[in-house]
Chains A and B, each alone.
Chain A
Amino acid sequence: MPAPAQRRIIFQHIDEPGYSNDLACYVKHGGYEVMKRAYARPPAELVEEVKKSGLRGRGGAGFPCGVKWSLLDRKSGKPIYLVVNADESEPGTFKDRYIMHQDPHQLIEGIMITCFANNVKQAYIYIRGEFPHGARILEKAIAEARAANFVGPNVLGSGYGCEIYVHRGAGAYICGEETGLIESLEGKRPYPRIKPPYFPAVLGLYQCPTIVNNVETLCHVKYIAEVGGEAFARIGTPNNTGTRILCVSGHVQKPGYYEFEVGKITMGQLLNEVCGGPLPGRTFKAVIPGGSSAKILKFGERFKGKRKVGTEMVDYDWAVEDVPMDFDSLGMIGTMGGSGGVIVMDDTVNMVEALANINAFYAHESCGQCTPCREGSLWMKKISSRMVHGDARPEDGQLLKSVADQIAGRTICAFGEACAWPTQSYVAKFGDEFKGYADAKKTAQPAATTLV
C-alpha cells in the first residue's frame, strides 16, 4: 500500500520559500484571524471544542489535552498559569524548534487562545537553553504581537489581558519534565515534584493551578479553534486524532520531519517510502519510534494480539513495518509514540555501543534527586561504557537489565522509565549481542570515540 500524502497543518508554512517569521508575513497568511473569532466566543466553548477534538499531548506522554484542562482547579481563587514546554530535549526530536524558528506567531496565537479559554493572565514559554536563536525569535515575535495588541493588557480591545514571557533554561533534560520545569521556572533546581500532591493542575507554578502544554500541542489548539473539535477529530484515527510531526533521524536516505495524520501511516511506509529506505547496501536493524527513551523495535520481530477497531476486537499480527504510527498502536506493542522522534539504526550499528551512548546521555541528565535513577543511571552507564571501552563480560547484559528493572516504576518522575526502558528493551531484544560483545569487539572496526 502506498504511503498517504503528508498533511501539513502545523508545518503548513515550514520551509515555504518566502515565508518569514515576522508578524506581517503571518498576518498576510491569515494569522490571528482564528484568535479574533475565538475571542468572540465564550471561553468554556473553546475548552469544549478541545475536549471534543480528542487532542492528545504531543510532548511525549500523549495525555488528552482537554482532560488536562478540565483537571484545573478553577475554584481556588488563585491565578491560573500556562507554561509552554519548549524544552524539546528528547534525543531524536526536532519539531518544536522549527515551529519556533519559522512560525513563532502560530505558537503565540495558540497560546493566546489557550489562555483566553482557561482565563490565564500570564503565560511562560520555557525554552531550552540550547535554543538561544529560538528564544530571540520568540522575544521578537512577542514584541511584534504586543505592538499589534495580540498580546498585552487589553487584547484586541476585548478587555482581556494576558502577557507572555520567555524563560530560557540552562541546559538540562529534566527541565522537560513538567514539574521539574516548574521548579526551574521558579528559580530552583529542577527537581521534579512528588505527585501526589503536586499535580500542576492544582499545585503548579508558585503553587497555583497551571497548564503545562507542549509547543506542538498548542499549535493544534489553534487549529482546533479554527476548524472545531469535531472536524479535528475526523483527522487521523479514533482516539489518535489530528496530525503528528514525525522526526526521522539515523540511517535512512531522507531523514527529516514529516507531518501525517495520526495512525494513517505505518512504520514501513514512513521509513521505506517517505524516507527513501535504508542507505545503499544496508538493511534496517532497529528503530526507536518515539524519542531515545522509547523501547526499541527490532526489525524481524512480530507483534500479535487483539485490538479494538471501531467497536469490535480484531486480531493483529504485525511486523515492525506494519505498525501504525499512533499512540495506541505503539503502546500496544510495548513501546510509545513519545515525542515523535523516530531513530533508525541499520545493520552497521552495534547495539551495545548504541546503548552505551544512550546510557551516557541519561546518566548525565539524571537530576540526582531520587535514589534509583540517580545511582542506577550512572551504574548502567559505567557498565556499558566498560563494555565498550574496557572488558565486557558475558553476564553484563543481564546485570544491566537487572539494574534497569530496579529503576523503572520506582522514581519520582518518568525519567526512571526513560533511562530504564532503553536498557530493558535492548537487552531483551539483542541479548546475544550483549553476550557475545567481548568476542565481537576483537574483530570489530576501530573503537568508537570515548563517550562523554
Chain B
Amino acid sequence: MIAPAKPELVTVNIDGKEIAVPKGMNVIEAARQVGVDVPHYCYHPKLTIVGNCRMCLIEMGMPAVDPATKAPVMDPATGKQKINWIPRPQIGCATNASAGLHIRTQTPQVKDCREGVMEFLLINHPLDCPICDQAGECKLQEQSTGYGRGYSRFIEQKNVKPKRTLLGPRVMLDDERCILCSRCIRFAKEIAKDDVLGFIDRGSYSTLTCYPGKKLENNYSLNTVDICPVGALTSTDFRFKMRVWFLKQTNSIDPESSVGANTVAWSREGVIYRLTPRRNDEVNDTWMADSGRVLYKAVTAADRLTAVKVNGADSALDIAVHAAGELFKSAAGAVAIVGSGRSSVEEQFLTKKLATALSASTHLVSRVGPGDKILVSADRNPNVRGALVTGLIPALPAAQLTALGAAIDAGKVKTIISVGEDLFAAGLNATQLAKVAVVYLGTQANATSEAAKVVLPTLTVFEKSGTFVNQQFRLQKFLKVVPGASGATDDLVVLAKLVAATGGTVPSDLNPLWKVLAAEVPALGPVTFANLPETGLLLDATPWAALPFVEGETLHFKPAAQPAAVTA
C-alpha cells in the first residue's frame, strides 16, 4: 500500500489555543481537535458544504501585514503580531485552515449569532418533543440547552406544513420539524447517487419533498434518518418503538457482505431495536445499507432454532454432541465439513481444528450477488477472508458444492458437519443428502436442519463476540449485543465440544482462544481480541494477493485487479 502524502500542516489559533492542522481543514473540525465544540446543523463531515444553517458562525481574523512591505504589523500592547478581525461573523464549516488563522468562538457576538439562529429555527418548529422520536438525540434539543431562550417571543401563527409524509417505504417525513438543512438532499445526490429529494416553495414555506413520481426507496434511504439533525425524517421501522435514552449501544459489524460496515446495535433488556452505522473513515464513512439494518430481526425470527435435536427429537447439548461423536467414529475418514463465510474468525479457526482432528475435507459456501458500488459488495459472505487467514480453506470457494456432491456420490463422505449452511441451497440434491448423516450447527431452520441427524442451535452475530476479516483484509470485531436465545449455545462452545468429542482440547473463551490464534495463525501474530482497535486492523494480505476475489469497487475499496469471475 502506498502511504498517503503527508498533508501540509498549518498553525491556527482557536480561542487562544495554537494547533497544527492540515491546511484547508474546516474550522469545525479544527476546533474539535482542541476540544472546542462549534455547534452546527447542516454541516456533515462526509457531505458537501452548503453553509445554510448559520449556526457555526464564528469570528475570524488573520495576522496583520503591511500592504506595501508585507512586513508583519506588531501590536505594541502584546508584542505579538496584530490580528485583523473581520467584523462580519464567518461560517466555521466553510472557513478553511490557513497559516495564522485566528478563530474566536466564545465572544458575545458569536453567542448572539447562535442564540439568534436557535430562536429562528424554533419559531416555526412544532416543539412536539414529547411525541417525537428524535427526542434524546435531537440537535435542536442539544443546542437549545446552550443557546435557547427558554421562552418564546413569537406570538404569531406558526407555518403549517405536511405531517406524516411517506417519502419511501422506510422513511417518514414531518415537514414542520424540518429545519431545511438539506443534509438528506445532499446525501441522496452525492452518496446514494439517487437524486430524488428537493425543496419546493420558498422562504419559510420551503418544503422538503420527493420529485414528482419519485420515491426515496434506494437501499441507503435510512442514512437520511441518521443524518437528519432533527425529527423530520424518522424510520418507519423504529418509529414509536423506544426512547433512545433507554437504549444501550454496542459496536457491531454489518454481516451482509464483505464490506463489513461498522455498526452500532441499540438494545434494551435483551431486545435489539435498531442498527445504525458507526463512523469508520476507512470502511463505511458514516453510512450503511438499509438491507443491513433489518438483520437484527433474525434474533427473534420465527424460524430461529432453539432446541437441540437428535434424529428429530428434542435432546440436550451433551447428548447431541455425543451423538455427533458417534457419527464421526462410524464415518471415520469420511467426514466433510461445510464451513461458513458467515462464521467469525475464531469459529473458522475451531472449525479448522475440528477438520484436522477428523481428517475431514473442508468446503465453504460461496454467496455472490451484484455489488452496488457503495457498501454492499459482490461477496455476500462477511468473512471469506477469515477462512483463508485461518487456513480453513486454501482457495476461494467454488460457486456450488459440486466437489462435495461428487465425493458423496463416490461414497467417500458419510457424515457432513454444516456450520449454518443450507446444503440444498448450496448445490447438493436430496439423493446426495439421503446418503449422508448431517450434523447441523446454526441459528435459523432450513431444509438442511430439517434433514439433519443432529441439530445444534447456535448464536446470531448479535449474541456473541468475534471478528470478521473484510474485503480490505481488515480485521474488525463485533461485540455481544444481547444474551443468546434460550436453547442456543455459543458457536465456539459447540465447536470446542465437538473437538473434545474427537479427543482434542481447544479453548472456547475468546481471550485464551486468541492466544492460540496468535501463536498458530501467522497473519494474526500481533493481535489480541482485547487490543483490536475499534476501527479494525489491516492484515498483511500478500499471501492471498493472487486470488481472484469477486468484489468490484465499493466505497474505500478498489480491487487489486478486475477478477475474471466478474466478467465471465
Contact = CB atoms under 8 A, between A and B. Distances in A.
Contacts of B50: 194, 369
Interface in B141-165: 153-154, 156-157, 159
A379 B51 contact: no
Interface string B31-56: 00000000000000000011111110
A411 interface: yes
A372 B114 CA distance: 10
Interface in B96-120: 112-113, 116-117, 119-120
A326 B88 CA distance: 25
Given A363-B204, A366-B203, A411-B54, A406 B116 contact: yes
A372 B123 contact: no
Contact of B203 (A364, A372, A406): A364
Interface string B189-204: 0000000001101111
Nearest to B124: A375
A194 B203 contact: no
Interface in B53-70: 53-55, 57
Given A194-B49, A382-B156, A409-B88, A371 B120 contact: yes
Interface residues of B, number: 36
Nearest to B157: A382
Contacts of B179: 371
B305 interface: no
Contacts, number: 95
Interface in A308-354: none
A374 B204 contact: yes
B168 interface: no
Given A370-B51, A375-B121, A375-B123, 7 more contacts: A191-B52, A370-B54, A371-B52, A371-B53, A377-B204, A378-B204, A399-B153
Contact of A371 (B54, B112, B153): B54
A376 interface: yes
B54 A377 contact: no
B89 interface: yes
Contact of B94 (A194, A365, A375, A411): A194
Interface residues of A, number: 33
For the residues of B in contact with A, the DSSP-based class is loop
Interface in A377-407: 377-379, 382-383, 386, 399, 402, 406-407
User: Which of B49, B123, B157 has the largest number of chain A CB atoms within 10 A?
Assistant: B123
B205 interface: yes
Contact of A368 (B89, B91, B206): B206
A306 interface: no
17 contacts: A191-B52, A194-B94, A365-B203, A366-B204, A368-B205, A368-B206, A370-B54, A371-B179, A372-B54, A378-B205, A379-B154, A382-B157, A386-B156, A409-B88, A409-B89, A410-B57, A411-B54
A189 interface: yes
A172 interface: yes
B419 interface: no
B202 A368 contact: yes
A410 B87 CA distance: 11
Contacts of B198: 189
User: Which of B54, B57, B201 has the largest number of chain A CB atoms within 10 A?
Assistant: B54
Contacts of A412: 51-52, 54
Contacts of A187: none
Contacts of B156: 379, 382-383, 386
A399 B153 CA distance: 8
Given A363-B203, A368-B203, A410 B113 contact: yes
Interface of B: 49-55, 57, 88-89, 91, 94, 112-113, 116-117, 119-121, 123-124, 153-154, 156-157, 159, 179-180, 198-199, 201-206
Given A374-B180, A382-B157, A409-B88, A369 B52 contact: yes
B202 A406 contact: no
Contacts of A411: 54
B89 A406 contact: no
Contacts of B123: 375, 379
Nearest to A172: B202
A196 interface: yes
B53 A368 contact: no
Nearest to A368: B206
B117 A372 contact: yes
B52 A376 contact: no
CB-based closest 7 A-B pairs: A406-B116, A375-B120, A368-B206, A382-B156, A378-B204, A366-B203, A194-B51
A221 interface: no
Contacts of B201: 368
Nearest to A374: B204
A287 interface: no
Nearest to B204: A378
A144 B129 CA distance: 64
A377 B203 contact: yes
Contacts of A370: 51-54
Contacts of B55: 371
A370 B43 CA distance: 13
Given A371-B121, A375-B120, A406-B116, A197 B203 contact: no
B57 A374 contact: no
Given A196-B94, A368-B199, A370-B51, A406 B206 contact: no
A194 to B, nearest CB: 4
A372 B203 CA distance: 11
A93 to B, nearest CB: 21
Given A383-B156, A399-B153, A374 B53 contact: no
A141 B45 CA distance: 49
Given A372-B116, A399-B153, A409-B89, A378 B203 contact: yes
A340 to B, nearest CB: 26
A197 B202 CA distance: 24
B104 to A, nearest CB: 16
Contacts of B49: 194
Contacts of B205: 368, 378
A232 B154 CA distance: 53
Interface string A150-163: 00000000000000
Contacts of B199: 189, 368
A52 to B, nearest CB: 22
